[in-house]
Amino acid sequence: MKSQALKKLRRKLQQYEAVYGLWVTLESASITEMAVALGLDWVVIDAEHGHLDWRDILAHVRAAVRSDTVVLVRVAELNAGLIKRALDIGADGVVVPWVETVSQLTQAVSYAHYPPNGLRGIGAERATCWGQCLDEHVQEADENVLVVPIIETVEGGRNIEMILDVPGVEIVFFGPADYSSTAGYPGQWEGPGVAEAILSAKDAIRRRGKYCGVVATGNDNLIERRKQGFQMLGVGLDGGLMLRSLRGALGVVDRDRKIASGFTLESDASALETPVVCAPQSMRPDRMEVMNEVGSGSMIELEPGVHFECLVGAHNDARKLTTGLVTFAPQAALSYHRHTFGESITLLQGDATVEVEGRRYKLDRMDNITIPRGLAHGVMNNSNREPAVFSVMMASDKPARTLVDHPNSRRAMPNDSQGYPGGEYVTRFKTAPRYEPGPNASFIDFFNRDLIPDIEMSGGYGVFQHGGRLPAHLHDFDESICIIEGNATCIVEGREYNLSSNATALQPRGRIHYFINHTHEPMAMLWVYAGPMPERLVVDESCATAQGNPWQQSPVVGERP
């Protein structure tokens, strides 16, 4: 145990300084050596998640020997044997997951202290210099050991005041992802209401003279957490930081790609698709495609100077999807409101600001912001001379909004901000990663379940050079495609359409189609699926011709001609 390092950490906290650390999940002890060399105040070795074994943990502990970097081990669960073993090999303290009650935390503290103050057994291991420093170690260990609970459930948050009564605890960590899961939002970092609950618990901890910890999701969030009053700040997980750096470097040379769950590149997906001879009967469509020119949709004045033209929605039998154009007159604004469904907004023209829960984002042309259901937001045209035009996509065919008050706290987000963890997601068009789903076609994903875990739809941007196209395909959900640049040819089972100038196609579930650029100028589109992932079924090219019969059977009863 490094008593001097622990005392130095406590002094910094008492002087209201932030202490920075690294969450270690990979096996190489060189990672901890780098953290020590960079002067980090602490590291947490994660033995709950991942694949670290005790040999790996010991190597990390040894990498910080005789340094000022405090080493904590996150044990897999509240267990006397695990806590004792972590401390016996020389950890300066333990992080205990899933603490919800006074009883659990009292047990954890007792397992980390020797009798008569606790229940820790004495071992002739590394912490006691293999039995040579028993008296010295027992005294310094009881005085200095850190026991850090993680509050990662709604129940733990509710019990925070009682938990703080437990003696022997100075620092409390938060796990936003698990907290969100127990609040009913699995897969989100901070689901609706979770950020506020954690900040409320943080305030209670600070009022009691204790300290709060959390792992930041990025550089902007690191600064934000410090301003919020968190003092024990994780700069990130080792694997996450490595991927962030790799993707940043690849982005400079336009080689950044997303990783799919099967450890394949997203751009490999189309290469793995083998066309089927005919479409499955289970996906047989019951509606025809609809092409919608600007000016043909219903016009709604949302507020003075704010007009929405619905191009795809209930009026043309779209399901779980509404899309269209919203035009803001100079200086016009849309009041704060929320939806019971996700919404995605892309700035096509003008100078505008979008606020979400008080976080203000300045958007450039073609920047996108996607807002999960339940988050309050508003929009303003910054120009006093020019209109602002947005493409709007909503995961509902019966859109409605509830007006709410402006938040009390409002702040401008950095110009390169990509949103808020567990909340809105911002795609900066100029720097967004691209991939190629087909020849002479380049795409950007704006939103899907991988990017925003709780979103109900998926969509993005695509640009097609001369001859660019996708294979003939169909979806198990409705799709809306808005042509925002150039001229597109749309083929639907042999029927040919030409679209341009924000004309928008509704492709119902099951209709076999593809788009192609026959011109020598670029053609660009915004697309959205009424499904959380951009999944498609590629079919034989003949299915998209007038002569082909993609269903190999007579039409279903009631199908439109």
The residues carrying an active-site annotation are 49
Beta strand 333-338 pairing with 322-328:
unpaired
Beta strand 232-237 pairing with 495-500:
unpaired
Longest Cα–Cα distance in the chain: 90
CA–CA separation, 559 vs 538, rounded Å?
23
DSSP summary character for residue 17: -
Residue type, 498: N
Residue 200 CA from chain centroid, whole number: 22
User: Dihedrals φ, ψ of 360, to 5°?
Assistant: -100, 125
Residue 140 CA from chain centroid, whole number: 42
CA–CA separation, 216 vs 236, rounded Å?
6
Q: End-to-end distance of the chain based on CA atoms, in angstroms?
A: 79
SS3 105: helix
Residue type, 419: G
CA–CA separation, 192 vs 84, rounded Å?
38
Q: Are 374 and 192 in contact (CB under 8 A)?
A: yes
SS3 315: helix
* DSSP output for 288-308: --EEE-TTSSEEEEEETTEEE
Q: Are 92 and 145 in contact (CB under 8 A)?
A: yes
